[in-house]
Chains A and B, each alone.
Chain A
Amino acid sequence: MKKKKAIEVKTQTVGRNRRNFLKVSGLALAGSGLLLASCDNDDDGGYMMPDGTFDLGSGDVGVLNYAYALEQLEAAFYTNVVNGSFYASASSEEKAILEALYNHEVNHREWFKAAIGANVPNESMRLTSDLEFDFSSVDFSSRDSVLGTAQVLEDTGVSAYNGAGIYIQTPLYLTLAGKIVSVEARHAAAIRSIIAGEADYKAFAGDDVVDSNGLDLARTPAEVIDLAGGFFVTPFTYKSPMA
């Protein structure tokens, strides 16, 4: 049985080790043909558990739901940044970068919505498009807070995609994840670079994110949720590993 872990959600304690989690059978997915050829038949789609906690599922669908959650988070964050007219001291370069990141992340979010909508036929197996977030830990009027949060989100996003690649079974999905993760890495480098400025010209790919083998971080869903889980209000659970 797969070990299940629960996301930390504010005061809500969901999951813990659900040893008797609902095993939904017969949820094999038939590719809709609209987007991608097919999903692996061994996938479990996501599903709502009796207590109202959504399980992301596993395999291709699990990774799609997982990535959709992270892209919703990033898009929501940059939407707040852009709608809040940035922080007061934002330079034109910083504004241009943050606006670009907003544009890209909203596009990613809507792509996942379309992909999941077309390939996960049963709506109950899809992660909601209305995840709620709590950004009370971010001071949107502060450069350090906004850029620091952006760095965490981008570096975490890179590591999440790198770590989830092995759970993807369909080549086209893996290529699409690749198309997105390298853009996240471009973002991360730019954000790190403008934060560090002249103090550290090597920060774009600093030794804190690239190891001695020249490898970027790759994190498990559990590690990613440890870093970003505090922003999620809507509860969901995931399997670890997500296979």
Chain B
Amino acid sequence: MNIIKFLDEFTTERLQEPVSSRRAMLGQLGSITKKAAMVAVPFGLAATSTKVHAQESGDVPAIFNLALTLEYLEAEFYMKALDSGVLSNNARARAIYEQISQHEDAHVEFLKAALGSAAVDKPTFDFTAGGNFDPFMESAGTSMDTAYTQLLILAQAFEDTGVRAYKGQAANLIGQGGLLTAALQIHSVEARHASEIRRLRGLEGWITGDTRGAGMPEVTQAVYNGEDNISQGGVDVTSLGSGSPFSFESATQAYDEPMTGETATTIASLFIQS
């Protein structure tokens, strides 16, 4: 399946409509995606105007194709990061990227095997997001330090997005047995990655409120919006007791928030050329 066609299906409520109607959406979404990449609008603001659409429970191919799209993105990102030479002076960063790269490659293979012929094709990525980043130091004017900084910023954004995206689909996999378990097993690996990348950047491994953290540019804020939630299953988790465990900071750190498939797709789309 073509990536744009897939993204269209995932980000609209048109799944139930005739194919001809869905085809009509393709051009529209394609242009939105390109525009988003070119002007580097903040993550999340490039959403289509369609209502947020929770993927239908049990639509395993759509759920796993969203996951595969994010894994393609991460896998190529880490591979190019390691090939770029930007990490050559930092043994710790290089080792961390190697380990994460190995996992993201494995996730791609695992999801492709699970999806079989239903797997979406790998998109063409643009990690400059239309010329706004240069994480691989591809332009002559980019210094190693700048590229390194951007390499870490993007990794944090991708990993924290991955955690939220998998979490957002978990409930749609109820009743799917081993597929649910596998999704949960990938989800917690993404969280391990997120924690380590954050710590590599000098942050804590967990997210406080909806703060994106020092050094993260405004365009990444959509990754963190909603993380300030303190209502868990209808209970205010700042009111469960007194003392430091119930401060706003602790109470928001203690729970990661899910992200809709639409938001995750929108964020990924900023880095998808075609």
Contact = CB atoms under 8 A, between A and B. Distances in A.
Interface of A: 34-36, 96, 99-100, 102-104, 106-108, 110-111, 113-115, 118, 158, 161-163, 165-166, 168-169, 171-176, 178-190, 193, 198, 201-202, 204-206, 210, 212-218
A189 B191 contact: yes
A162 B245 CA distance: 24
Contact of B255 (A163, A171, A180, A202): A180
A185 B191 contact: yes
B171 A205 contact: no
Contacts of A179: 167, 232, 255-258
B249 to A, nearest CB: 8
B241 interface: yes
A216 B188 contact: yes
A182 B234 contact: no
Contact of A165 (B109, B180, B190, B204): B180
Interface of B: 57, 91-92, 95-96, 98-100, 102-107, 109-110, 163, 166-167, 170-171, 174, 177-178, 180-182, 184-196, 199, 204-206, 232-235, 237, 240-241, 244-247, 250-251, 253-258
Task: Specify which of B106, B171, B253 lies most central, judged by the most chain A CB atoms within 10 Å of its CB.
Answer: B171
Nearest to B92: A201
A166 B180 contact: yes
A175 B205 contact: no
B192 A188 contact: yes
A202 B99 contact: yes
Contact of B110 (A180, A193, A213): A213
Contacts, number: 206
A71 B205 CA distance: 20
Contacts of A201: 91-92, 95-96, 99
Given A35-B234, A214-B186, A205 B167 contact: no
Contacts of A193: 195-196, 199
B184 A214 contact: no
A96 B250 CA distance: 12
Contacts of A184: 188
22 contacts: A34-B234, A35-B233, A35-B234, A102-B244, A103-B250, A104-B253, A106-B245, A107-B250, A114-B235, A114-B240, A161-B184, A179-B257, A186-B194, A186-B205, A187-B206, A189-B191, A193-B195, A193-B196, A205-B103, A210-B189, A213-B106, A214-B106
Contacts of B206: 100, 104, 183, 186-187
A114 B106 CA distance: 39
Task: Specify which of B57, B167, B185 lies most central, judged by the most chain A CB atoms within 10 Å of its CB.
Answer: B185
Nearest to B240: A110
Contact of A186 (B99, B170, B191): B191
A216 B254 CA distance: 20
Contact of B186 (A169, A180, A215): A215
Task: Specify which of B178, B187, B205, B251 lies most central, judged by the most chain A CB atoms within 10 Å of its CB.
Answer: B205
A171 B256 CA distance: 16
B245 A182 contact: no
A168 B258 CA distance: 17
A183 B110 CA distance: 24
Contacts of A205: 99-100, 103, 189, 192-193, 196
Contacts of B190: 182
A107 B171 contact: no
A205 B191 CA distance: 10
B167 A175 contact: yes
Contact of B171 (A36, A111, A171, A217): A171
A159 B122 CA distance: 31
Given A202-B99, A204-B96, A175 B170 contact: yes
Contact of B107 (A35, A118, A169, A214): A214
